[in-house]
Structure 1
Amino acid sequence: MLSFASFVCLSVVASVVVAQSAVTIGPVANLHIANEVIAPDGFNRSAVLAGPNDTSLAFPGPLILARKGDSFQLNVIDALTDTTMLRSTSIHWHGFFQRGTSWADGPVGVTQSAGTFWYHSHDSTQYCDGLRGAMVVYDPDDPHRSLYEFDDATTVITLGDWYHVPAPSAGLVPTPDATLINGVGRYAGGPTIPLAVITVLPERRYRFRLVSISCDPNYTFSIDGHTMTIIEVDTVNTVPLEVDSIQIFAGQRYSFVLNTNQPISNYWIRSEPNVGTQGFDGGINSAILRYWGADAIDPNTTSTLTNPMLETNLVPLSGAAAPGVPEVGAADVNINLDIAFGFDDLRFRVNGATFAPPTLPVLLQIMSGALTAADLLPSGSVYALPPNQVVELSLPGGSTGSPHPIHLHGHTFDVVRSAGSTVYNYANPIKRDVVSIGAAGDNVTIRFTTDNPGPWIMHCHIDWHLEIGLSVVFAEDTGTVNLADPPVAWDDLCPIYNQTFPPAT
């Protein structure tokens, strides 16, 4: 059973760790949030960091580890002081369904699947300033356990973008300055700082958990001289699929098995972004895979990619079909979400409406008696969904800023039509919680069942796009949500927040 109790309090803090070896915490811990100056790519700047205490702040934030069956209690302590960035915060535990507890950031009283998760700020663009980290829930009965020998904190790989200017003053959609792998990297023209090194024993099999903690770019990830066998996508176990590169979008996670069957040497790990400085000159967008016994030198390997991962080749291990009648538009509820960008006001619109966080959160509106879309704010951005119905969403691609990685809170969903494909697969589609909706001509289509009451936001995981309105909210089973009874500690947070961070007047 997994349950979250996340409480925010205030404190004072100091000191920071930026290291290749991850800081780890268990499922019951404090998570201190504070500002410190770091230089993960050799450029000094103040950032928003997390740590288990006020002397162990880290970027990325601590790796949170648990086993299936554990109960989470994470006490979030807000000690932010830097006025060039947000001083408030809100943490989203990405991939956890929060079933029955939409007022919290995690599930209570239900069994949650094991797998690879992550956490990040969901307060404006704050996670672009550093508040992001990985989470893993290990499954003692992992059906893929026979495929690998190693799966621990050292086999988690994070990919992220980094900016030299704090998010509030960086501009509408800034260009990343660097790619960071496990929290370190280089920028074009910058210092030659040490890259992340992942050390492996020869003739072993490793389960690597690849986590995109990106604010914007998608990455083409590969390891010179090696193939990767994908076994998990966004917490969903898959039929093993061998590839030599993975295109990973913001918020997505993949587990892959790496067989260290090559000569003892050093091999480039490559993570080429779709925006920002591309290529690998001077070690940018790179890390190093080092076999035990190899000299501590840069690799001289090259890359030739011939077998990229295609989403349509991913099959869930369960083999389960999508819910509902297996025909296009034959779900109980069918919604087309057309995304457009307004060059007059520089805002995104979904079906003509741009999302702006309401003064009163949607959940509190529902708990106060608002039950229909017409009653809920922001107007045009909230869709009321009845309980226990199959919903089919169509998401045409190609709008400004494409490809958009779309994330739905509260659910995994079935991708019945993927970007780059015209085929509808209702028989055994991949299930995930972030999907790219592709380019012009694409019409990505997903299905899910409304079995988790609550207001669930669906948004572009390019954080800059979310900030300028690329989002909607699905108010699921509002009648049940209206009966929810959050704990007193949760009720107490609003006046504390408003007193500490009063709204602008």
Structure 2
Amino acid sequence: MASTDRGSANSLSFPGPLIHGWKGSTFLLNTIDALTDTTMLRSTSIHWHGFFQAGSAWADGPAGVTQCPIAPGNSFLYRFKTAGQAGTFWYHSHHMSQYCDGLRGAMVVYDPFDPHRSRYNVDNEGTVITLADWYHAPGPTLDGTVPRPASTLINGKGRYVGGPVTPLSVIAVRRNRKYRFRLVSISCNPAYTFSIDSHTLTIIEVDSINVQPLTVDSIQIFPGQRFSFVLETNQAVANYWVRANPSRGDAGFAGGLNSAILRYAGAPVADPTTSQEPNSNPMLEQNLHPLNNAAAPGPPPLGAADVSLNMVIGFCCWPFYSQRCNVYGAERSCLLQILSGASTSPRPPSFWKCLCPSPKQSHRSLIPWWQPRLALILYTCTAMLSASFEVPEQTRYNYANPVQRDVVSIGGAGDNVTIRFTTDNAGSLDYALPY
């Protein structure tokens, strides 16, 4: 079975409590809707991001897809197995913009036979780092499209322009140890460029997929993405800035903005005085290669996929609190409609797109994008051709060892990404865009 770090989540805190278990665990997560604030969304549902939900698609969580929202005063028991999965995950509300109002947190599935275990000494609740954007008003009260975040929170704490000098999150370490940090973006909108002054980061896991170790100075992380990196505490005993510069919102680090503190044992309780060094070795996503089963699914040649799908994705001018492109919500979930015998969607294609691939096929999707800097959230797939705004655009497909992950950067305006996945997990499942 699995648990939270405080047994039950019934206190007011942000981010939500860390939920953790072991590879092979069964999660039993009873969600009780006790929401009463009428300025916020009161119905809810929870998505357990990154889990395949093989045989338990009903527990995936997207409101209007696999379930109706949980009504206030009611509860819903999510039960699913980790099966063969391990690594870093997260959970969040999947009802309209509710997760931006705070219902989000990290999940970890530990592997007793982790192939990278010899690379680190410490991996516990204290080595989980969450990055979040924060808005100073509830989602339903915000007009227009995606608003500008007011601040960046690292492990739930942060400062904002014109605000008080509040305490920052402190990540405590001891000298001459190797820490496995699990970096989780629970952001609604911005991507972040993450770094720690005077330290390199050796990436060993990406979205629950073990990768060949890659040492970098910084990590670009989009909403929903997760990275495990090993940090060796081989510097002088002192305080060091932890930086998460957002792609949207107030950038920079003046006065501790977008920052936290890495504090060696024995260092004074004070803000760091370190400087950011030139970013000469940023992470390039095409250099992230899976440790096992590295090849893209299906035969390598271009056009060899069983089905090819071309999608053009963009945002219009829908309200922030709407559920991405499903503006008006669904009266009945997709899964309920299918179980009731429906074969077509009652919504016209202009509102949402439902993909119904056949089982056991290899699919190739070419996804052009006409809005800047976004990511596509899927179940684990391989990105054979991609371009993000820090990655030189690829011009040749990589079938041998492309990055495997469940959140893929589409890139900047005019860029595109090509992904492959195998339809081996029956059910009504959701793919989505961050706000």
The two structures have a TM-score, normalised by structure 2, of 0.89
Q: Would the aligned equivalents of 1:271 and 1:286 in 2 still touch at CA under 8 Å?
A: yes
Q: Does 1:119 align with 2:74?
A: no
Q: In the aligned structure 1, how far is the partner of 2:162 from the partner of 2:100?
A: 22
TM-superposed CA distance for 1:378, in Å, is 2.9
Q: In the aligned structure 1, how far is the partner of 2:319 from the partner of 2:105?
A: 30
TM-superposed CA distance for 1:268, in Å, is 0.3
Match of 1:312 among 279, 283, 286: 286
Q: After the TM superposition, which residues 71-150 of structure 1 pair with which residues of structure 2 at under 5 Å, given as runs?
A: 71-105=26-60, 108=80, 111-150=83-122
TM-superposed CA distance for 1:162, in Å, is 0.4
TM-superposed CA distance for 1:330, in Å, is 2.3
Q: After the TM superposition, which residues 96-495 of structure 1 pair with which residues of structure 2 at under 5 Å, given as runs?
A: 96-105=51-60, 108=80, 111-171=83-143, 172-304=145-277, 305-342=279-316, 356-371=328-343, 375-380=344-349, 381-397=353-369, 399-400=370-371, 402-408=372-378, 411-419=379-387, 420-462=393-435
Q: In the aligned structure 1, how far is the partner of 2:384 from the partner of 2:304?
A: 13
The one-letter code matched in structure 2 to 1:314 is: L
Partner of 1:103, secondary structure, is: helix
Q: Quickly say closer, same or farther: Cα 1:109–1:79, change in 2 above 3 A.
A: closer
TM-superposed CA distance for 1:100, in Å, is 1.5
TM-superposed CA distance for 1:346, in Å, is 7.7
The one-letter code matched in structure 1 to 2:227 is: Y
Q: In the aligned structure 2, how far is the partner of 1:361 from the partner of 1:354?
A: 12
| Gapped regions of structure 1 (runs ≥ 5) | 5-22, 31-51, 348-352, 463-505
Q: 1:166-224: CA deviations, max 9, x gaps?
A: 11112221100000000000001100000001110001000000000001000000000
The one-letter code matched in structure 2 to 1:93 is: W
Q: After the TM superposition, which residues 56-67 of structure 1 pair with which residues of structure 2 at under 5 Å, given as runs?
A: 56-67=11-22
Q: Quickly say closer, same or farther: Cα 1:278–1:431, change in 2 above 3 A.
A: same
Q: Would the aligned equivalents of 2:28 and 2:79 in 1 still touch at CA under 8 Å?
A: no
Partner of 2:286, secondary structure, is: helix
Q: Would the aligned equivalents of 1:355 and 1:378 in 2 still touch at CA under 8 Å?
A: no
Q: Which runs of 4+ in 1 moved over 4 A?
A: 106-110, 353-356
Partner of 2:314, secondary structure, is: strand
- Report the number of matched residues: 404
Q: Would the aligned equivalents of 2:28 and 2:80 in 1 still touch at CA under 8 Å?
A: no
The one-letter code matched in structure 2 to 1:320 is: A
Q: Would the aligned equivalents of 1:218 and 1:274 in 2 still touch at CA under 8 Å?
A: yes
The one-letter code matched in structure 2 to 1:111 is: A
The one-letter code matched in structure 2 to 1:169 is: T
Partner of 1:112, secondary structure, is: coil
Q: Quickly say closer, same or farther: Cα 1:443–1:94, change in 2 above 3 A.
A: same
Q: In the aligned structure 2, how far is the partner of 1:109 from the partner of 1:115?
A: 14
Q: Would the aligned equivalents of 1:96 and 1:112 in 2 still touch at CA under 8 Å?
A: no
Q: 1:3-40: CA deviations, max 9, x gaps?
A: 99xxxxxxxxxxxxxxxxxx7146xxx5xxxxxxxxxx
The one-letter code matched in structure 2 to 1:379 is: P
Q: Quickly say closer, same or farther: Cα 1:423–1:354, change in 2 above 3 A.
A: farther
TM-superposed CA distance for 1:423, in Å, is 2.6
Which structure's relative contact order is higher, taking Cα pairs within 8 Å and 6+ residues apart? 2
Q: In the aligned structure 2, how far is the partner of 1:324 from the partner of 1:68?
A: 27
Q: Would the aligned equivalents of 1:264 and 1:293 in 2 still touch at CA under 8 Å?
A: yes
Which region of structure 1 is more displaced relative to structure 2, 380-389 or 97-106? 97-106
The one-letter code matched in structure 1 to 2:383 is: V
Q: Would the aligned equivalents of 2:29 and 2:79 in 1 still touch at CA under 8 Å?
A: no
Partner of 1:154, secondary structure, is: helix
TM-superposed CA distance for 1:286, in Å, is 0.2
Partner of 2:338, secondary structure, is: helix
Q: In the aligned structure 2, how far is the partner of 1:303 from the partner of 1:297?
A: 17
Q: Quickly say closer, same or farther: Cα 1:309–1:135, change in 2 above 3 A.
A: same
Q: Would the aligned equivalents of 2:210 and 2:291 in 1 still touch at CA under 8 Å?
A: yes
Partner of 1:340, secondary structure, is: coil
Q: Would the aligned equivalents of 1:97 and 1:112 in 2 still touch at CA under 8 Å?
A: no
Q: Would the aligned equivalents of 1:386 and 1:450 in 2 still touch at CA under 8 Å?
A: yes
Q: In the aligned structure 2, how far is the partner of 1:274 from the partner of 1:312?
A: 20
Q: Quickly say closer, same or farther: Cα 1:108–1:276, change in 2 above 3 A.
A: closer
The two structures, once aligned, show a CA RMSD in angstroms of: 1.9
TM-superposed CA distance for 1:342, in Å, is 4.1
